């Protein structure tokens, strides 16, 4: 059965590199598969599009252009903030910090520079502006249940017997 654009529950193993480079940026190979419901915006759009039509057991290299990954870098996302907002933090250039956005969502910033008065941070995703290469293997694929299709949450089956990797 091939993966559909919507309402397929898919489990993948992946290895992520920046296109044209060999350094692995992220991987779940050898671990638990990444499971998600297609069409719910749970993974970057370009990867989701690349999976459509694949079947369980298929492997592929999927090139995702920056526009369909984390977008282009936005120069306005680099901001100078008062140093007081970072009290108690031992700052280093390049360090990643996490905070809360205006809607309560978790946001990640990168420290670009700092002095005694201010801290320059970059609100762009670290992979913004980069083309990405995903080496993926589809390890599972099935139709979503009605509840999964509505909520976008993958139901964990078999947990009651303790054989699914859930912690009890």
Helix (H) / strand (E) element for 49: namely helix 45-51
Please enumerate in sequence order all residues whose Cβ is within 8 A of that of 86, keeping only pairs 6 or more positions apart, or say none.
Answer: 97, 114, 119
What pLDDT was estimated at residue 157? 60
Q: How far is CA 66 from CA 21, 47, 89, 126, in A?
A: 15, 11, 32, 12
What pLDDT was estimated at residue 165? 46
What pLDDT was estimated at residue 89? 93
Mean of pLDDT over the chain: 91
2 beta partners: 55
Could you tell me the pTM of the whole model?
A: 0.80
* CB neighbour class for 94 (10 Å; exposed up to 12, middle 13-18, buried from 19): exposed
Domains parsed from the chain with CATH numbers:
8-70+128-150 (3.10.50.40), 75-122 (2.40.10.330)
What pLDDT was estimated at residue 58? 97
Length of the chain: 168
**pLDDT tens per residue across span 123-161:** 999 999 999 999 999 999 999 999 999 999 998 764 444
E-strand ranges in 24-130 read 24-27, 34-37, 59-64, 78-82, 96-100, 106-114, 118-122
What pLDDT was estimated at residue 146? 93
Helix (H) / strand (E) element for 148: namely helix 146-151
For the chain of 168 residues, list the mean pLDDT of each consecutive stretch of 10.
91 97 96 95 95 97 97 95 93 92 87 96 95 98 93 73 44
């Amino acid at each position: 059965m091939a993966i559909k654009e919507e309402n397929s529950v898919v489990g993948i193993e992946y290895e992520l590199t920046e296109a044209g480079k060999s350094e692995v940026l992220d991987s779940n190979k050898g671990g638990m598969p990444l499971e998600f419901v297609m069409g719910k915006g749970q993974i970057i759009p370009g990867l989701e599009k690349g999976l459509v039509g694949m079947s369980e057991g298929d492997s592929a290299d999927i090139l995702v252009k920056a526009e369909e990954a984390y977008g282009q870098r936005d120069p306005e996302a680099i901001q100078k903030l008062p140093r007081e907002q970072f009290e108690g933090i031992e700052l280093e250039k390049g360090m990643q910090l996490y905070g809360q956005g205006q809607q309560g969502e978790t946001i990640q910033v990168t420290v670009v520079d700092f002095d005694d008065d201010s801290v320059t941070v970059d609100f762009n995703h670290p992979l913004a502006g980069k083309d990405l290469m995903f080496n993926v293997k589809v390890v599972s694929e099935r139709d979503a249940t009605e509840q999964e299709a509505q909520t976008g949450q993958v139901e964990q089956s078999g947990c009651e017997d303790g054989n699914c990797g859930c912690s009890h």
